[in-house]
Structure 1
Amino acid sequence: MSKIIPFKAVRPTSDKVSLVTCRNYDDYSSAELAAWLSFNPYSFLHVIHPAYMHSQKITLDKRFKGVAHKYQDFKEDGIFMEEDKSVFFLYEIKTKTQSFTGIVAGTSIDDYKNNVIKKHEDTLQYRVEYFKDYLHQTGFNTEPVLITYPDNETLSDWIFKKKKSQPIYNFSTTNKEKHQLWKIETDEEIAWLAKQFEEIPELYIADGHHRSASAEMLYDEDSHLGNENLNYFMSFLIAESQVKIYEFNRIIRDLNGYSKEDFLEKLSEHFIIKDKEQELWKPQSKFEFGMYLDGSFYALFYKINDNFKNQNSILTNLDAQILYDKVLQPLLGIEDLRNDERIEYIPGKQSIATIKELVDEGEFEVGFMLYPSDISEIKALADNNLIMPPKSTYIEPKFRSGLMVYEL
């Protein structure tokens, strides 16, 4: 049984929403940040990172207080408004090739603690503590956790009908996405929607493991203060079939002392290797890997014996784990996938020509392309309390910062 609640959202006024909302802060280059902050006084980037040009010279405590003050300025200036009552929202994102629709709601810390909301990624303690301190100091969150639920015909029909009504937001962004938002505010609709989720036994985190862990840590530290909002965290709930999962590809700075010939020979112990020369080849199915080395693309087909799938666990059957177990760790000497400076990651939605360019420029020696995981693998790992290797998945949709604020 899953529990969701409506909440009193703070959000931009309709006339300014397209100016306020922004991509995740880390998605912007320095030049883009400077441009947006210089020419758009309404951008939520002003809130996320006040005093941008001097941010490296101030303490975290001062930075977080600056965020809180700038957020209050936006409210006082009438850029943000607060709902009169607690509501749910229906939110749609349309790109050139994809359409995502989900429900924005509060999800339960108790469900998270009791594994009703399941996880598949590990977290870094320092990042969890960093974001917990951010929440504590600023008093708000604008980045919901992306959570999936099993496809449900009743909910799908309701969403289809709801989207025929007039949205409260209908705007486009400079990255050519269209965004629409509907408010679910009648007592009947709120009760009905909450009831639908009560009948769903389990939910799965797709993206936002650090955010949910930070919300739990803040609850553990401050729940004695009696703030009911700490019992929940904002989530974007979306049907499993709506989620788009990309791989993270890997680029490595050196061959750990191997010559090209010796490295290929070592790889042949576990892979059938086909030289694709200049063909921009990428894996077509599970247990296939692409490689770019010394000006050529290679197809690597993992050698699977008859009993491999049955004798190995869900985790060891995962392509990202196979690459680590057979190549990255034993051959290239990469132990720590999160912190080793010899490895970097490229989201699978970027062209593999990007990998070719980075290797050809000489800073990296070899690149590996993976086949993306699917939702069934993610769920199987979560159901068995297993953790994916770092940077295994890049998941969409991505929520716009500043579109919705959950105050603590």
Structure 2
Amino acid sequence: MAVVRPFKAIRPKNDKASFVVSRSYEDYSKKELNATLKFNPFSFLHIINPGFKFDKKVVGNERFKLVRNRYLEFLEEDVLMKDAQDCFYLYQIEKNNFSCCGLFAATSVADYRNGVIKKHEDTISRREKLFANYLQTVKFNAEPVLMTYPDTDSIAKIFDQEKQRSPEYHFTTTDKVTHRLWPISDEKIIRKIKDEFADINALYIADGHHRCASSDLLANISEKANPEHSGKEPYNYFMGYLIPESEIYIYEFNRMAKDLNGLTKEEFLVRLDEYFRIQNKGVILYKPTRKHHFGMYLDGEFYSLYLRKKAYAFTDPLSELDTQILYKTILEPILGITDLRNDKRITYGYGKHNVLRMKDEIDKGNYKVGFTLVPLTMDEIKDIADANLVMPPKSTYIEPKLRSGLAIYELEYKKNRNLTVK
């Protein structure tokens, strides 16, 4: 059973919501970031980039402390406010042909530990510790973990009823995304939501594996340092955004390699023939449309690669993933790329126009060969998580990408101590 709890969110004042919320820091170009910081004093970017105020680059614990200070300033200046009672927060996102509606809730660290919240990616210990120290210092969580649950008619009915009310927020940001948010404070509705999620056996992490792992690490350290630990402290939970599986959008990452590992074009194609039926598509842009089929761009021409299934063994859910097949048949044995996360010879790209960008980069000579794949499915992600397996890096690009600053979960509690993750 999945445990979800309402919480008293810190969130923007109604008239400032559209100015406060920000995309992921890495999503901004340097020019756009500087313009936003210069001309929008309410942007959440001022909190997460506190050095701008002093025209100084700050890092590490100095940055963490200044983030805390900027956060407190936003509260003192009434840019942000704290809700008086515990709520769930229904949040709808719409852009072009994309729409999803889910729930901001406090989700359980214990569920993450015992496998009710399931993962499909590895995390890096160094990053876990860094973010746990960040959370301990700033004492708030502004970036929810994106999780999915099976489509459930009873939950959908509750959400549809709540959406009949006027939303607390209704605004469109400059990237033409429309945002609506409904706080849910009615105790009967809150009880219904908690009961419905208690009947769900598993939640699946779609985006935010390091946030989960860091919250788990912080909870473990906090519990050991708190002699009055009760299990009800805020550090026992982290903020999640829960949406039905049908409203997750999954895109593929393409791969580009710098060289052919010392092989000529002809030698490379001969090596590929061991695992694939190869068709030269010439200059006609080609993208695969089925699992176990791949596109390739090499030396000004597109190719289709059809996996020879008798030459490759399917042994578990991981072995059936196209990203794993590409790794085991081409990237590792032929191109000599063993470390998909750190090898500088491989680069990843996503997006509907990425095939053209890939072609352009290869034509310029920046890369030698590129591969296109079809997107993975939610069922494949669940199969990997259920089997306690781990996907290769950059197997999925998932939407929605959530904003920072719309709802903030506070980690501070009265007996809070100065804990350090080591």
| Pair 1:402-2:405 in alignment | yes
Separation in structure 1 between the aligned mates of residue 356 and residue 164 of structure 2, nearest angstrom? 41
1:298 is displaced (CA, Å) by: 1.2
Counterparts in 2 of 1:56 and 1:330: CA distance versus 1, 3 Å: farther
1:57 is displaced (CA, Å) by: 4.8
1:267 is displaced (CA, Å) by: 0.9
Give me the CA root mean square deviation.
Answer: 1.6
Q: What does the per-residue CA deviation read over 1:265-308, in whole Å, with 9 as the maximum and x for residues that have no partner?
A: 11111111111222221110100111111111111111113994
Q: What is the one-letter code of the residue matched to 1:302? A: L
Name the TM-score, length of structure 1 as normaliser.
0.96
Aligned residue number for residue 292 of structure 1:
297
Separation in structure 2 between the aligned mates of residue 16 and residue 270 of structure 1, nearest angstrom? 57
Aligned residue number for residue 172 of structure 1:
172
CA contact (8 A) 2:288 2:372 kept: yes
Q: What is the one-letter code of the residue matched to 2:303? A: Y
Aligned residue number for residue 17 of structure 1:
17
Unpaired stretches in structure 2, ≥5 consecutive residues:
412-422
Aligned residue number for residue 145 of structure 2:
145
Count of aligned positions: 406
Q: 1:383 aligns with which of 377, 382, 386?
A: 386
Q: 1:357 aligns with which of 356, 360, 363?
A: 360
| Pair 1:282-2:317 in alignment | no
1:350 is displaced (CA, Å) by: 4.2
Q: What is the one-letter code of the residue matched to 1:234? A: M
Q: What is the one-letter code of the residue matched to 1:218? A: L
Q: What does the per-residue CA deviation read over 1:156-202, in whole Å, with 9 as the maximum and x for residues that have no partner?
A: 12222221211000000111111100111011111110000011111
1:136 is displaced (CA, Å) by: 0.9
Q: Once structures 1 and 2 are overlaid, which stretch shifts more, 116-125 or 209-218? A: 116-125
Separation in structure 2 between the aligned mates of residue 385 and residue 294 of structure 1, nearest angstrom? 40
Unpaired stretches in structure 1, ≥5 consecutive residues:
none
Separation in structure 2 between the aligned mates of residue 32 and residue 122 of structure 1, nearest angstrom? 32
1:251 is displaced (CA, Å) by: 1.2
Q: 1:270 aligns with which of 268, 275, 286?
A: 275
Separation in structure 2 between the aligned mates of residue 63 and residue 203 of structure 1, nearest angstrom? 33
Separation in structure 2 between the aligned mates of residue 314 and residue 51 of structure 1, nearest angstrom? 46
1:154 is displaced (CA, Å) by: 1.0
Matched position secondary structure for 1:316: helix
Q: What does the per-residue CA deviation read over 1:309-334, in whole Å, with 9 as the maximum and x for residues that have no partner?
A: 4xx21111110000000111111111
Match runs of 1:323-338 below 5 Å: 323-338=326-341
Counterparts in 2 of 1:174 and 1:336: CA distance versus 1, 3 Å: same
Separation in structure 1 between the aligned mates of residue 327 and residue 311 of structure 2, nearest angstrom? 22
Aligned residue number for residue 259 of structure 1:
264
Q: What does the per-residue CA deviation read over 1:358-380, in whole Å, with 9 as the maximum and x for residues that have no partner?
A: 21222111111111110111111
Separation in structure 1 between the aligned mates of residue 363 and residue 181 of structure 2, nearest angstrom? 44
Aligned residue number for residue 213 of structure 1:
213
Separation in structure 2 between the aligned mates of residue 348 and residue 327 of structure 1, nearest angstrom? 23
Q: What is the one-letter code of the residue matched to 1:338? A: R
Matched position secondary structure for 2:318: coil
CA contact (8 A) 2:51 2:57 kept: no
1:349 is displaced (CA, Å) by: 4.1
| Pair 1:304-2:282 in alignment | no
Q: Once structures 1 and 2 are overlaid, which stretch shifts more, 208-217 or 159-168? A: 159-168
Counterparts in 2 of 1:127 and 1:352: CA distance versus 1, 3 Å: same
Q: What is the one-letter code of the residue matched to 1:240? A: E
Separation in structure 1 between the aligned mates of residue 67 and residue 167 of structure 2, nearest angstrom? 30
Q: Which runs of 4+ in 1 moved over 3 A?
A: 52-59, 306-309, 348-351
Q: What does the per-residue CA deviation read over 1:370-402, in whole Å, with 9 as the maximum and x for residues that have no partner?
A: 111101111111111111011111111111111
Aligned residue number for residue 108 of structure 1:
108
Separation in structure 1 between the aligned mates of residue 55 and residue 245 of structure 2, nearest angstrom? 39
Counterparts in 2 of 1:350 and 1:200: CA distance versus 1, 3 Å: same
Counterparts in 2 of 1:307 and 1:138: CA distance versus 1, 3 Å: closer
Matched position secondary structure for 2:50: coil
Separation in structure 2 between the aligned mates of residue 400 and residue 28 of structure 1, nearest angstrom? 13
Q: What does the per-residue CA deviation read over 1:182-227, in whole Å, with 9 as the maximum and x for residues that have no partner?
A: 1110111111100000111111111110000000000011124347
Give the share of equivalent positions with the same residue, in percent. Answer: 48
Separation in structure 2 between the aligned mates of residue 326 and residue 56 of structure 1, nearest angstrom? 48
